[in-house]
Amino acid sequence: MTPDTTPRSRTPLLLILFAALMAGAGNGISIVAFPWLVLQRTGSALDASIVAMAGTLPLLAATLIAGAAVDFLGRRRVSMISDALSALSVAAVPVIALVFGADAVNVAVLAALAALGAFFDPAGMTARETMLPEAAHRAGWTLDRANSFFEAVFNLAYIVGPGIGGLLIATLGGIDTMWVTAGAFVLSIAAIAVLRLEGTARPDPSTMSDGVWAGILEGLRFVWNNKVLRTLAFVDLAATGLYMPMESVLFPKYFTDRDEPAQLGWVLMALSIGGLLGALGFAVLSKYLKRRTVMLTAVLTLGVAMTVIAFLPPLPIILVLCALVGFVYGPIAPIYNYVMQTRAPQHLRGRVVGVMGSLAYAAGPLGLILAGPLADSAGLHVTFLALSLPMLALGIVSVFLPALRELDTPHP
């Protein structure tokens, strides 16, 4: 066996982590700013749902295309292009307000810009995630450790982003807050621009399928034929569809009605702080806990926590529950990443990540279609219950899914 003579350096991994932090922070600000701008103008949860849907519906197709783009065009190039287009989409909000007046920033405009931003984001996320195995190898880290830190940074971004977003809305207003979002994406571009890492340039044409759509179908077939990937995709699809409306519509509606933008930021920060600790903890706990045990605990805890939140307890209790949800869910993304990265061959990695991500997004719009009108007509309490009880059922069903036992099966 030829000895590994690759020089060790943490610089590529640190650049990827910094880029993920900045892009995630930009998205974290948007999560607060877009719903706030809508609810400030109309006060309607349905309108907020429309904008939230506009920010999620394109993700289904965009993530599929993003995976193929990463494999066809190269990871580094796609990451920078994606962040540049995302920056332009959010910077358009204050530009439109400056040119045409604040009234021009209406629900239709916000929905269109949210859709544009959502269409570009998956390519950058997929590109950075698929660079991790090479960066971890260069740093001399295990893949579990690299994935844990990557997801910890992602959660840190959603601590910084919503927190800054809530404070900036309270001081500068929702429109000018978008300048900060654009600036975060620019910093992400700068980090990847100086990155030098094997496997990030355009791939060898001989490893590509005959066109983008053929490549997407190849990724779909691979995921469908792999039992553990197929099962994880459907579990994630259901969990995302049930959870997303809580963060995107119900919490913004609750705190907008109370005129408490900072408190909305605190709730999203609590979720991310818990996720940060959970993801970092997994780097250590992965030596002692089974991946299946961690996943089942997360889904069941999320169902219980959402059910308690449905009764709209005082803010401190909501914050504790959100932190708990974040903590138990923190290791889930590292587990998913590990399975995708170890099951998929190198030339298919982007497409497999894209397929898994797109399936997770597929149920999001359905949940948002339910949540907005139901919140306006029946109230937040009923809407929370309509989402939390199926989540509990999902956790119970997952216990009996045999494919999840493969999460702990060694794979070359």
Shared domain check, 263 and 136: no
Residues 221 and 287 in one domain: yes
Per-residue tokens: 112: 């269109």
Q: Looking at the domain assignment, is residue 412 inside a domain?
A: no
Task: Tell whether 113 and 257 lie within a shared domain.
Answer: no
Residue 139 located in a structural domain:
yes
Flag whether pLDDT at 96 surpasses 80: yes
Query: Quick one: pLDDT at residue 412?
Result: 53
- If asked whether residues 250 and 396 sit together in one domain, one would say yes
Decide: 147 and 331 in contact? Cβ < 8 Å: no
> Any idea what the CATH number is for the domain that residue 282 is in?
1.20.1250.20
Structural domain containing residue 38: 10-194
Same-domain check for residues 219 and 320? yes
pLDDT for 354 beyond 80: no
Please indicate, yes or no, if residue 205 is contained in any of the structural domains. no
Domain count, the chain: 2
Using only the alpha carbons of the chain, give its radius of gyration.
Answer: 20
The average pLDDT across 70-81 equals 81
On whether residue 3 sits in a domain, the answer given is no
Q: Are residues 285 and 357 in the same domain?
A: yes
Q: Are residues 127 and 259 in the same domain?
A: no
Both 188 and 277 in one domain: the answer is no
Q: Is the pLDDT of residue 2 over 50?
A: no
User: Do residue 224 and residue 173 come from a single domain?
Assistant: no
Let me know: does 27 contact 161? Beta carbons within 8 Å: yes
Q: ∠ CA 52-57-58 to the nearest 5 degrees? A: 115
In a domain, 206, yes or no: no
Is 2 inside a domain boundary? no
Q: Do 166 and 274 sit in the same domain of this protein?
A: no
- Higher-confidence residue of 309 and 105: namely 309
Q: What's the angle, vertex CA 31, arms to CA 28 and CA 36, rounded to 5?
A: 135
Classify residue 203: in a domain, yes or no.
no
Summarize pLDDT for 363-377 with one digit per residue, the tens: 666 677 777 788 888
Q: How far is CA 403 from CA 292, 357, 386, 395, in A?
A: 10, 19, 28, 15
What pLDDT, in 10s, does the model give residues 255-286?
Answer: 877 777 778 878 877 887 887 888 888 877 77
- Residue 211's alpha-carbon distances to 218, 345, 352, 356, in angstroms, are 11, 18, 16, 20
Distance between CA atoms of 71 and 74, rounded to whole angstroms?
6
